[in-house]
Structure 1
Amino acid sequence: MIGNETIVPLVVSEPRCKVCRSEHRAMIDAMLRQGTPHTEVRQHVNGILGHEYFTPNNLSVHARKHLYGSDPAEWLRKSARAQRVLGDPSAVPAHTRPEDALRAVVEIGLRSIDAGVAVPEPGDVIRAARELKRIELDGERATEEQMLREIKAFTTAVKRVVPEEMWDAVYAEYEAVLTESTPKTRGAQ
């Protein structure tokens, strides 16, 4: 404890994990946190060791379960706080907001899948598909809302500028233009 702050352990360690037990763990963790692809990390460390000690699975499991712990956002918040308490602001991770940490986790996950060291579970695929659909629908709703705001603003501007006796003519022209621009369906041809 420093002052009234408790120092949070910065490292998750699992005795059965080859990476956690390795004397090269600090280097491996640093490379992974910098976004170095797992394949490159594995080749580098295995090159130092002189044989194929680490497998893609070793690095994937370590990165998912031990590098950030079970909650990457929480680990980053605690890590940043602990580093500030220790007085080394240069060591504070760049991503200290939870949403930034989650983006980093997504990036690491995508890189792991791309490198072939991680395969999404069926439940993860279903959740990802649902989330994508939700994002698409939210985007469509936002676009619709923006279009409605623009239409209302344009209508208000027309009413402010165009004399009221011309509104019927403007509306009739609007309907004519709309009819001209509406795509013809096959049955109506």
Structure 2
Amino acid sequence: MTEQEQKDKVKEYSERHQQWSNQALTQFGYSTNLFTTIGIGFLAYLINERKKFPAITIDFEQSVNWSLLLFVISVCLTLLTVVFGLISITSRLYDIRITRHLVLTRKRVMKKHAMYLTDKHTDISNQSKIGNFFRSLNKIDFVTGNDISNIQTVNTKFESLRMQSKLLGELAWTSHKLQLVLLLLSVIIYSTLIF
């Protein structure tokens, strides 16, 4: 294989990778939205079915009403499904927002300083995904146009944003997986009541 053929193949594989990355992100968005909508619909159905069950009373002298208990568990799991879906959607949106800003920052630094910003691996193993999520909802410390002049400030903020984005991306996938598992459990538990 010649050097040109190798470069052409690398370019072709890069284009394929970009295409499939875009496809994966699109499908992830559809999946999260779909299962959140299903969760909301199932929750509405369960609330509508509430009148078929007796009132909730806490009396340690009575035996456990298993059908009511399973119904309440199913409602709680479905509610958690919706919450995890909303967390997944929101964290993904913030991840995309930060990633877009990181690309813009790379472009600005390349124009101003003719240098690359780091692509090294960002270790997130000791970081809190949920803590990062709430910090992101509160404030994101973007690299501003004034910061571009000071490369030290750019590097510090850039690394912080990369970590924040990676944590949000991980949280989006984790919460979506939990959403799917909880919805499945909720449906299984409720189906034991009607069969």
Shorter-chain TM-score above 0.5 = no
Structure showing the higher helix proportion among its residues: 2
Structure whose CA Rg is larger: 1
- TM-score of the two chains, using structure 1 as the length reference: 0.30
TM-score by length of 2: 0.29
Q: Which structure's relative contact order is higher, taking Cα pairs within 8 Å and 6+ residues apart? A: 2
